[in-house]
Structure 1
Amino acid sequence: MLATERHSKILENVNKEKTVTVAKLSKLLDVSEVTIRKDLIKLEQEGLLSRVHGGASITSFLPLERSFTEKQAERTKEKAQIARQTLSHVQPGDTLILGAGSTTMEFAKLLGQIAELTIVTNAVNIAMELNSQGVHQVILIGGEMRAKSFALVGAVAEDNLKKLSVYKCFIGADGIHERDGFSTLSLAESNVNRVMMSRARKVYVLADHTKFGETHFSSFADLSDVDRIITDRLDPQTHASFQELGVKIEVAQA
């Protein structure tokens, strides 16, 4: 089968199914997965589809941003596992920034175990959780609140962050990609994430395994901008691929 004919069949399937896997296309077209991946790269460069982890989707098929409540109900064990692992990176007296998100919320719930922390956050719900613990100095940065994530964003949030400096920053991400780095569905949150990272000496990204290989609307950092990714599990191939790029990945103990 000629490449042009193969590309036509790939696009036909992507447009019909919205999202297709490399394995399915390989079987359907009777070619290797390596060949399919090369085809997808070319078609993406031409703007005809978007590559996603393990396959491709139509360019107009963008994931809808879900609310914090919806995200909180998903993969609760994995998020708790990541939060427990992350706690080992915090010492009494630390100054921290916590970004918005369901995994960072799980982490915030555990911080009452460590004394004398100064914690800056752009998440209203995380600030309330930390304040209820009664053992921290909590700084809520102000700004425009996003209804879906309870995150404070915009010029006020960014300007207030630029006046502060902390030792460690802990944030989440909707996507972690070898080429595109870290991304999120919200441009406004992406901008705040960049500022939060710039105000910390060390940056940690907390993300479960489903975020790897994904790219979303707004990229906010390259892989090299982060000191460590903490996740719940990762397949050996993906782990090795990121390690080759010099990325430090810490897999939480079960």
Structure 2
Amino acid sequence: MKSLSLSERHSYILDLLRQQGSVAVIDLANQLKVSSVTIRKDLTLLEEKKMLYRTHGSAILINPYINDRHVNEKEKFYTEEKRLIGMQAANLITPDDSIIIASGTTMHALARQIVPQGHLTVITAAINVTHILACNKNIDIIQLGGLVRNSSVSAVGSYAEKMLENFSCSKLFMGVDGIDLEYGLSTTNMMEANLNRIMMKAAQKTIVLADSSKFGRRGFGKICDLDAVEHVITDSHIQPKILEELRERGLEVTIAN
């Protein structure tokens, strides 16, 4: 490759990031025939312009760390993707099933799509999920209690965790704030992360509902590693590279179209 100008190097780096999701300093130095010091300076300039995010020895397109936002704000984003994911997840509920529904806007989308076959029992921490399902006489709802998080309008803490010790369900439907191939599944709140882990113990199978914007992101509270869940339902905008990696790790991945 011929020697490139500063602007040409920056365009090359950003194009490669869009294709691959991440780039390593050493690989860029080899491809562009410049020193690692030059590449680090390039990445610093691009980060200052908020065009990428630097990590250890590499760069990615977005800042992976997520801030906590109110559920009403998050409801406005990826509404169609969440609706399709909710429809796909609802199809997994069997006649006379007993399930756990965690908190989050994708859980609200799931709740809106549930039409029970026979009688359905739902355990949930999310007050909004209870509100959506409460009008259906064929659904018994066990509302977990405890401290209510203002941002998620859901219960967390020891009371909710203690209640789950008395139940065993077929499935847990769980939303997350981030899915990172190395870090695993996470949320922005450590108490919610802990409750999710307890929920996983009370269910035979964990099904993660996450739109494609959640991949490559990290919340403050880690829930679990990727291999602790069985099934991920997401939308068609997931990066092919991430989809391939998930399936290579043995996860069942459903694309909601």
1:104 aligns with 2:107: yes
Q: 2:57 aligns with which of 42, 51, 61?
A: 42
Aligned partner of 1:29 in structure 2 is: none
Kindly indicate whether the alpha-carbon contact (under 8 Å) linking 2:116 and 2:139 is maintained by their aligned counterparts in 1: no
Kindly indicate whether the alpha-carbon contact (under 8 Å) linking 1:40 and 1:56 is maintained by their aligned counterparts in 2: no
Query: Which digits, 9 at most, give the CA deviation of each residue in 1:95-154, with x for residues without a partner?
Result: 100001111111111223433011000011111211122221100010100011111001
Identity %: 30
Q: Which runs of 4+ in 1 moved over 4 A?
A: none
SS state of the match for residue 214, structure 1? coil
SS state of the match for residue 69, structure 1? helix
Q: Which residue type is aligned with residue 10 of structure 1? A: L
Q: 1:246 aligns with which of 233, 239, 250?
A: 250
Q: Pairwise mapping of residues 190-205 of structure 1 onto structure 2 (< 5 A)?
A: 190-205=193-208
What's the CA shift for 1:70? 1.1
Q: 1:235 aligns with which of 239, 246, 252?
A: 239
Aligned partner of 1:26 in structure 2 is: none
What's the CA shift for 1:161? 1.4
Query: Which digits, 9 at most, give the CA deviation of each residue in 1:22-67, with x for residues without a partner?
Result: xxxxxxxxxxxxxxxxx84336xxxxxxx6xx4354xxx9533211
Query: Using the alignment, how far apart are the partners of 2:56 and 2:81 within structure 1?
Result: 32
Query: Using the alignment, how far apart are the partners of 1:185 and 1:247 within structure 2?
Result: 24
Aligned partner of 1:207 in structure 2 is: 210
Kindly indicate whether the alpha-carbon contact (under 8 Å) linking 1:174 and 1:211 is maintained by their aligned counterparts in 2: yes
- Compared CA separation, residues 75 and 56, structure 1 to 2 (3 A): closer
Give the TM-score normalised by the residue count of structure 1.
Answer: 0.81
Query: Which digits, 9 at most, give the CA deviation of each residue in 1:166-213, with x for residues without a partner?
Result: 111001011111111111111111111111011100110001111112
Q: 2:171 aligns with which of 147, 158, 168?
A: 168
Unaligned residue ranges in structure 2 (runs of 5+): 1-33
Aligned partner of 1:178 in structure 2 is: 181
Aligned partner of 2:98 in structure 1 is: 95
What's the CA shift for 1:4? 3.0
1:17 aligns with 2:49: yes
Q: Pairwise mapping of residues 150-169 of structure 1 onto structure 2 (< 5 A)?
A: 150-169=153-172
- Compared CA separation, residues 40 and 74, structure 1 to 2 (3 A): closer
Q: 1:4 aligns with which of 37, 52, 57?
A: 37
SS state of the match for residue 251, structure 1? strand
Query: Using the alignment, how far apart are the partners of 2:51 and 2:97 within structure 1?
Result: 44
Query: Using the alignment, how far apart are the partners of 2:101 and 2:244 within structure 1?
Result: 28
Query: Using the alignment, how far apart are the partners of 2:140 and 2:115 within structure 1?
Result: 11
Aligned partner of 1:139 in structure 2 is: 142
Q: Which residue type is aligned with residue 56 of structure 2? A: I
What's the CA shift for 1:162? 2.0
Give the TM-score normalised by the residue count of structure 2.
Answer: 0.80
Query: Using the alignment, how far apart are the partners of 2:68 and 2:50 within structure 1?
Result: 17
Q: Which residue type is aligned with residue 153 of structure 1? A: V
Q: Which residue type is aligned with residue 238 of structure 1? A: I
What's the CA shift for 1:247? 1.8
Tell which structure's C-alpha radius of gyration is larger.
2
Aligned partner of 1:85 in structure 2 is: 88
Q: 1:122 aligns with which of 116, 120, 125?
A: 125
RMSD (CA atoms): 2.0
Q: How many residue pairs get matched?
A: 223
